[in-house]
Structure 1
Amino acid sequence: MSPAGRKPREQPESSRLRILKAAAQVAAERGYEGTTIARICERSGLPVSSVYWFYKDKDELLAEVVAHSFNEWIGDQPAWDPAPPGTPVGESLRRILNRSVRSLPSTPEFLRTGHMLALEHRETEPAGRVLFLQVRARVRADLSNWFRLSLDPRLIAENPGLPDHLAMLIIILTDGLFLAHQIADFWDPDAFVDLIVITVENAIAVAGS
């Protein structure tokens, strides 16, 4: 242990986190093509050798930006436990979203960087884009499963695609809120959660009519 009481691996890890933060900032400002190792090093204050110590290229680094940010965000999310018997789906959904939505501005790198990569099509897909689309598919599957376990089985039997449609609806609306926050600094989580819950409840009512 060093005189300062730090383990030998603590400094490399702190450098890695500085690189990830700098890469996310540069990517948000410059896009994929404008994100260079030189700019990341300038922003992080670390030499090129530090970047290549951890990552073989920019593609791998941006993929790690998405993965690291998503893992931080998902670790702080409430459990999507099915709605208890007799509890309205909207009530359970509101309880979960009240916490989940408020966490979006705090760790947005995977959304900001992921959206940027998802909108840019290339002959060879960047690893970060592939990873972001996989993350979206995972979230959609989890949401769909929650609705499948929370809705009346008779309703699902009549409308087997309903859970997945509701899951996609939440993702689309959340994308919109995040982009509005990034573009115009709009942020009203209470109103947004109300909008989602009302929309979902109406969709369920229409499916059951």
Structure 2
Amino acid sequence: MANTRRPASQRSTSQRSTRKRRADGEESRRRILDAAAEIAGERGYDGTSIGEVSARSGLPASSIYWHFANKDELIAAVIERSFERWLAAVELPGPEVGDAGERVRTMAVGLAKALLDTPDFLRLGLMLALERRPAEPTARTKFLQVRQITRERIAEAIRELTPELPESSVRALTTYAMAGADGLFIAHELDGDDTDLVALFELHARSLSDATARELDTHRSNP
């Protein structure tokens, strides 16, 4: 029986070629996502087109369609990538940081800094979330999914710091925390550098700590 196994040199060349194609594909995808994020941030969902992404990225439309079925799927991927980078900041620091208030403040500062670095998911997501369309865009669905993950992370932090609170209070405080963060982010988007997002998130953290303490006092007074 003939030996059909390729020589080691041929296998090595094939492996290098495969790795190069994979690396080239990853680089192309990154360039496409970067270009789409820039354009969507400037012009919104409707103002973004595959043609403009192609021109901005320097890649042909065929390359974009190889990675993404359509514009909607592309914008969904932009939201997901930005969210994954930001999610690492949605963690409550440990007790070594200080008391409950200091832990919340530290978490809030981390969230603000992460938003400044990776704002795409919230910027694009809020635009899409406020719109009503006959057909639900995949990108809007993706944003609502990642927003739910954020909600669960914040609720977990509140439960850890105040385990006595009833679930109704946890839900209300979580909604308050997220609504405040949304509003502060929008203020920064509108006012730019005139708005210190980090300082405002610190203020929001103190307000949230005060609101949580009041909820806890109310619960203890009316068990």
* Deviation, structure 1 residue 93: 0.5
Q: Quick one: structure 1 residues 54 and 135, their matched pair in 2 at CA, closer, same or farther if it must change by over 3 Å?
A: same
Query: For this pair of structures, how many residues does the alignment match?
Result: 200
Q: Is the 8 A contact 2:79 2:125 kept in 1?
A: yes
Contact 2:101 2:209 (C-alpha < 8 Å) held by counterparts: yes
CA RMSD across the alignment: 2.3
Q: Give % identity.
A: 38
Q: Which amino acid aligns with 1:124?
A: A
Residue 104 of structure 1 aligns to a residue in which SS?
Answer: helix
State the one-letter code of the partner of 1:19: I
Q: Which string of whole-angstrom CA distances, capped at 9 and with x for unpartnered residues, describes residues 177-196 of structure 1?
A: 22122211144245313322
Say yes or no: does 1:50 pair with 2:63.
yes
TM-score normalised by length of structure 2: 0.81
2:79, 2:143 within 8 Å by CA — same for their partners in 1? yes
Deviations 1:115-169 (A, max 9, x none): 111122111111110110111111111111211121152xx1xx43122222222
| TM-score, reference length from structure 1 | 0.86
Per the alignment, residue 180 of structure 1 pairs with 187
Opposite residue 31 of structure 1, the aligned amino acid is G
Cα distance, 1:45 vs structure 2: 1.3
After superposition, the Cα gap between the structure-2 partners of 1:97 and 1:57, relative to the gap in structure 1 and judged at 3 Å, is same
Relative distance call for 1:161 and 1:115 in structure 2 (3 A) is same
Matches within 5 A, 1:39-188: 39-75=52-88, 77=89, 79-80=91-92, 84=95, 88-153=99-164, 156=165, 159-185=166-192, 186-188=194-196
Q: Give unpaired runs (5+ residues) of structure 2.
A: 1-12, 219-223
DSSP-derived class of the 1:38 partner: helix
Native 8 Å contact 2:76 2:138 kept in 1: yes
Following TM superposition, where does structure 1 have runs of at least 4 consecutive aligned residues deviating by more than 6 angstroms?
Answer: none
Q: What 5-or-longer segments of structure 1 have no aligned partner?
A: none
Deviation per CA, 1:46-91: give whole Å up to 9, x if none. Answer: 111110110111111111011111112223x26325x649x64212
CA separation of 1:148/1:182 partners in 2, compared to 1, >3 Å: closer, same or farther? same
Q: Report the equivalent of 2:209.
A: 201
Give the superposition deviation at 1:206. Answer: 2.4
Residues 79 and 124 in structure 2, CA contact (< 8 A), matched pair in contact too: yes
